């Protein structure tokens, strides 16, 4: 397919190469393409997207092309270690990026480049863009409230919140998760600076300001997002109005809030094949009767916790559709720990599913989620109440907002205990008021997409803004 005919401006987009970041960037790319821009995607070879799904985009593979470069030849491909690329490329990717951008800016047979849009965590790209006088917008794939809390990590650290934790390790690097939160009554107290949060939510983020790798990434991400020419969020104004006002007061860059799942699905940017074989079964289930379970693309559990989940599900007596990614259970290839006869007729287990389509299915009554931000927004988009089992990073913050601010879910905040799992599933499936609140939130979102609504206006002003460069 011809990529540039009739298209007079080009946008270069550079996602972080992980599923939770690739999905919203490609949804945004589809949206900008539909508005008349030509799209060039910069990507690592690691977690390469299926380019055949995007014949209308141009792809350039950068940063890890040289198999003999020892800096990345030995980086892990799986598990938490795969995140080490974020550290490495932020440190040493600038020259390669500048070289590729210079080629694009001087290309005679392509439309002129309006701007670069990168994931916010590619913080090294701001100085490269500045050196070429190229406007850089960022896509921030988590919530606005997460950004505000991350921006306050130095303050929260100085106030001593992180000293309550035994966990000095960096979970993204060692895969430990947050299981070392100590038993201390102060953990249940509110955080004065963010009253929705409890102290333990802050600790569960899993990293702090000091010289640990993830703390550095976050502080640089915040700094270079503030320095950018604009911030695009996968959200909508009615969900995060207060946070939007705070950010607009503190940061000069314009903000654009767009709930991507309402524009495009993530089917074509899925890095794993989506199993659809369960749909005939799902089609036969009564309305709001099935719990959909998925913990995103990265989270892992220990086998003993996995077994608590299994027992909690069995005891709930609810039907379920469970996405168990290969490797989700530490030390297992896939489903080895499952007891004979499970899941039986009441459930289906798949490796990966078309999540948005599943959430939109009328048989789905609740979503048991790790509270990744894409999953949270997708659930809000379909009006599905949640059971939240967050792991680290933004997820404990999302879970707290879902349960305590928007009241469209239950937070399983004591880890993996079968009785609590059973109770949470039963409660969410039976709670008609929570279902009603989820529906009202979805209706607000739908209204924001109509001409004159906040999300509609955000798309229009983003297009005008990019066109003005």
> Which residues are catalytic, by number?
21, 119
Distance CA 320, CA 314 (A): 10
Judged by CB under 6 A, the residue of 394, 411, 424, 442 near ligand UDX is 394
According to the binding rule CB under 6 A, does residue 125 interact with ligand UDX?
no
Classify burial at 464, counting beta carbons within 10 Å of its beta carbon; exposed 0-12, middle 13-18, buried 19 or more.
Answer: exposed
According to the binding rule CB under 6 A, does residue 296 interact with ligand UDX?
yes
Judged by CB under 6 A, the residue of 38, 395, 454, 458 near ligand UDX is 395
According to the binding rule CB under 6 A, does residue 26 interact with ligand UDX?
no
According to the binding rule CB under 6 A, does residue 19 interact with ligand UDX?
yes
The residue among 397, 382, 27, 361 whose CA lies nearest residue 196 is 397
Candidates 15-23, 170-178, 213-221, 405-413: pick the segment binding ligand UDX (CB under 6 A): 15-23
Residue pointed to by tokens 């979805």: 442
According to the binding rule CB under 6 A, does residue 373 interact with ligand UDX?
yes
Under DSSP, the state recorded for 403 is I
According to the binding rule CB under 6 A, does residue 57 interact with ligand UDX?
no
Judged by CB under 6 A, the residue of 10, 21, 237, 348 near ligand UDX is 21
Judge contact between 257 and 468, C-beta under 8 A. Answer: no
Three-class SS state of 49: coil
| Total chain residues near ligand UDX (CB under 6 A) | 25
Candidates 118-126, 176-184, 242-250, 374-382: pick the segment binding ligand UDX (CB under 6 A): 374-382
Cβ nearer to ligand UDX, comparing 20 with 383:
20
Concatenated DSSP letters of 269-332: G-SSPPP-TTHHHHHTSPTT-EEEEE-TTT--B-HHHHHHHHHHHHHHT-EEEEE--TT-BTT-
Candidates 16-24, 211-219, 221-229, 439-447: pick the segment binding ligand UDX (CB under 6 A): 16-24
Q: Mark out the alpha helices in 410-453 (DSSP H runs).
A: 418-430, 432-448
Distance CA 17, CA 119 (A): 9
Neighbours of 47 (CB within 10 A): 18
Cβ nearer to ligand UDX, comparing 255 with 298:
298
- Residues 6+ away with beta carbon under 8 Å from 447: 453
Tokens of 165: 């934790």
Distance CA 182, CA 185 (A): 9
Query: Considering the complex, what minimum distance in angstroms separates the CB of residue 132 from ligand UDX?
Result: 28
According to the binding rule CB under 6 A, does residue 23 interact with ligand UDX?
yes
Cβ nearer to ligand UDX, comparing 376 with 438:
376
Query: Considering the complex, what minimum distance in angstroms separates the CB of residue 357 from ligand UDX?
Result: 9
By residue count, the chain amounts to 469
Query: Considering the complex, what minimum distance in angstroms separates the CB of residue 234 from ligand UDX?
Result: 8
Distance CA 125, CA 138 (A): 10
According to the binding rule CB under 6 A, does residue 201 interact with ligand UDX?
no
Query: Considering the complex, what minimum distance in angstroms separates the CB of residue 177 from ligand UDX?
Result: 13
Chain positions contacting ligand UDX, by CB under 6 A = 18-21, 23, 141-142, 266, 270, 294, 296-298, 323, 352-353, 355-356, 372-375, 378, 394-395
């Amino acid at each position: 397919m011809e990529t540039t005919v009739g298209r007079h401006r080009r946008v270069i987009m550079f996602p972080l190469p992980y599923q939770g970041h690739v999905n919203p960037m490609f949804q945004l790319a589809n949206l900008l393409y539909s508005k008349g821009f030509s799209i060039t995607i910069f990507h690592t070879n690691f977690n390469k997207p299926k380019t055949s799904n995007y014949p209308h985009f141009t792809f350039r593979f950068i940063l890890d092309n040289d198999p003999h470069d020892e800096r990345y030849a030995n980086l892990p491909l799986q598990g938490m270690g795969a995140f080490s690329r974020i550290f490495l490329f932020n440190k040493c990717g600038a020259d390669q990026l500048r070289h590729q951008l210079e080629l694009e800016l001087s290309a005679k047979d392509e439309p002129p480049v309006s701007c670069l849009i990168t994931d916010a965590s590619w913080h090294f790209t701001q100085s490269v863009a500045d050196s070429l006088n190229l406007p850089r917008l960022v896509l921030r794939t988590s919530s606005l409230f997460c950004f505000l809390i991350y921006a306050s990590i130095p303050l929260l650290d100085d106030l001593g919140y992180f000293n309550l934790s035994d966990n000095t390790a960096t979970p993204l690097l060692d895969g430990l998760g947050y299981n070392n939160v100590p038993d201390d009554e102060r953990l249940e107290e509110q955080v004065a600076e963010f009253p929705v949060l409890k102290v333990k939510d802050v600790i569960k983020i899993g990293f702090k300001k000091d010289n640990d790798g993830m703390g550095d990434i976050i502080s640089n991400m915040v700094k270079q997002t503030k320095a950018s020419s604009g911030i695009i969020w996968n959200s909508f104004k009615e969900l995060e109005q207060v946070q939007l006002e705070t950010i607009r007061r503190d940061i000069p860059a314009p903000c654009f809030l767009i709930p991507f799942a309402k524009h495009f699905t993530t089917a074509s940017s899925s890095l794993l094949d989506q199993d659809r074989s369960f749909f005939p079964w799902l089609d036969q289930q009564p309305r709001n009767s099935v719990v959909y379970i998925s913990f995103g693309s990265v989270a892992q559990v220990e086998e003993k916790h996995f077994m608590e989940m299994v027992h909690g599900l069995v005891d709930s007596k609810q039907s379920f559709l469970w996405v168990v990614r290969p490797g989700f259970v530490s030390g297992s290839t896939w489903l080895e720990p499952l007891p004979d006869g499970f899941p039986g007729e009441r459930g289906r287990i798949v490796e990966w599913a078309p999540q948005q389509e599943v959430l939109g299915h009328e048989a789905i009554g609740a979503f048991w989620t790790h509270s990744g931000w894409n999953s949270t927004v997708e659930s809000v988009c379909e009006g599905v109440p949640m059971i939240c089992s967050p792991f680290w990073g933004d997820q404990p913050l999302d879970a707290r907002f879902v349960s305590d601010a928007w009241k469209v879910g239950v937070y399983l905040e004591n880890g993996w205990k079968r009785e609590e799992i059973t109770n949470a599933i039963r409660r969410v499936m039976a709670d008609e008021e929570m279902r009603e609140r989820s529906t009202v939130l979805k209706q607000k979102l739908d209204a924001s997409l109509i001409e004159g609504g906040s999300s509609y206006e955000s798309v229009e002003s983003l297009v005008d803004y990019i066109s003005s460069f």
